[in-house]
Structures are given as structure tokens and as C-alpha cells.
Amino acid sequence: PGLNCYSCPGAVGSCPIGSLQAVLGSKKYDFAAYVLGTLLVFGVVLGRFVCGFLCPFGFVQDLLHKIPLPKRSVPRRVDRLLRWVKYAVLAAVIALPLLLTNEFGIASPYFCKWVCPAGTLEGGIPLVALDAGLRQSVGGLFFWKLSVLVICVVASIALYRPFCKYICPLGAVYALFNRFSFYQMKLDRDKCISCGACERQCPMQVDVTRQINSAECIRCGKCKDVCPTQAITSGFRMQPNATSTHKEHPKK
């Protein structure tokens, strides 16, 4: 397992959300600024490029969605409401460790403990499978987390990246930087013919021609691949693109 979280406390790597909860919930100790600083650096430089290309659980969801079973889509109005849930989860990730601590001034990593399916898949299940002692000690919490994982797996087959879209607090962090990050998508409206191919292809249902650097864009590049006029580009830029200064083409 590559993530250090509630499910795998002995792993080498470190989960950003788990680390953030740990430093927020340790009032007896100095705040570890490097944790927040690392999140900010990745957000400023890459934005949700992290979600599209670096997140292991996002990759798992991508693979699950390729399974040839019926696909579903959430109605647009409901989808837009559900996308705010991840920001509420992020607020809880920050607030709960600050408000709920034990007598030693240390808080439980509530999101990792009760919700996160990535830790269950990448840490909890491998450890329990390989350690007979752990198999004898598992209880209700493990089976609760396993149920959450099963729901995410089934949902990911029918829906594209439901955990990323609606729940993930780390995705919410990086989404805040998407419009300002150094890595940007750019739409050349002089080349755009408003064919709608990019928006039909976008798995995150972004309004590409209106807001190409939406907080929901994970920089997957599928819109760029299908653009017949090569109007969409991506890369590192020190300044945000200025697509809004051009007159929008009418939809065809």
C-alpha cells in the first residue's frame, strides 16, 4: 500500500487529507505548516491535473467505468447540487479535528476512519488479507468501510468517477485553484466552430466553450483530442488564458 492513512498507518507514503487531519487535530503540538504548504503548492502548480493523472483511486474508478455494463448519467440540475457535497466534506475535514479532540488534545481522522474508500482498497484489504492476526481482530468498522467501498465500486461502473465528482475533499482543495493554476487549458475562440464535440466527450460534464478551466475539469485532455480544429490546447502558463475576451460563437 502506498498511502499512509487510517487503514494503513505503516505505509511509506502520506495521504494529504490524512496528514491535514492529523496536524489540525493535534492541538498539543505545533502546526505542521509543510502539510498545508504542500497542498497549496500542488494546487497552484497543477490544480486538478492531480485528479486526472496522479490519483490512484481516480485511476481505479476509470478502470471500473470501462467495464462494458450499462452506463447512467445524473440529471444536470441534480449533478450540480451534488458537486457541492465535496466542499461540505472538506469543511468537515477541517472543522471536526479542530472541534472534537480527546483528553490528550488529539482528534480522530474522521474522514479516513469512516468514509474514505481509497484507504480501504489500498491499505485495509491488503493488510487484512496478508495478516492472520488482523483478520481475527476486524470488526464492525472494517465491514462498514468495506460497504462504502462496494458502493463506490458499483457506482463507478455506472457513473464516471462519482467519488471524485461528489465526495473527495482533496479534489475540492485542488478545484479551488483550477482557474488560477500554472497548468491551464486554453480555448482559441477564433478556431472554435461551436460543434459541441468537446462537451459531448467531456466525462466531467464541463461547459468547455464557456468555462474551460472549470473547477470540475480534471485536465484529462479528451476535449482536446476530439476538437476538429485543434482549438483546445493545454500546458503551463504563468497567466490565465483570456478566452472570455472573445465573442462567443452561437451553438450549432
Q: What is the pLDDT of residues 207-243, one digit of tens each?
A: 999 999 999 999 999 999 999 999 999 999 745 444 4
Q: What is the pLDDT of residue 123?
A: 79
Q: What is the mean pLDDT of residues 11-19?
A: 75
Q: How far is 165 from 213, CA to CA, in rounded Å?
A: 15
Q: Residue 190: exposed, middle, or buried by beta-carbon count in 10 A (0-12, 13-18, 19+)?
A: exposed
Higher pLDDT: 105 or 117? It is 117
pTM: 0.84
Mean pLDDT of 73-95: 92
What per-residue confidence (pLDDT) applies to 12? 61
pLDDT of residue 122: 80
The pLDDT value given to residue 90 = 94
For 144, 183, 217, the CA distances from 177, given in Å and listed in that order, are 33, 10, 11
Range scoring the smallest mean pLDDT among 22-26, 88-92, 218-222 = 22-26
Instruction: Give pLDDT, residue 30.
Output: 67
Residue 11: per-residue pLDDT: 58
Comparing CA positions, the residue from 109, 112, 111 lying closest to residue 124 is: 112
pLDDT for res 127: 81
- pLDDT band at residue 20, thresholds of 50, 70 and 90? confident
DSSP code string of 106-122: B---HHHHHT-HHHIII
pLDDT in tens, 203-212: 999 999 999 9
pLDDT at 132: 83
With residue 35 as reference, give the H or E element that holds it. Answer: helix 33-46
pLDDT in tens, 156-174: 999 999 999 999 999 999 9
Q: Are the C-beta atoms of 112 and 18 separated by less than 8 Å? A: yes
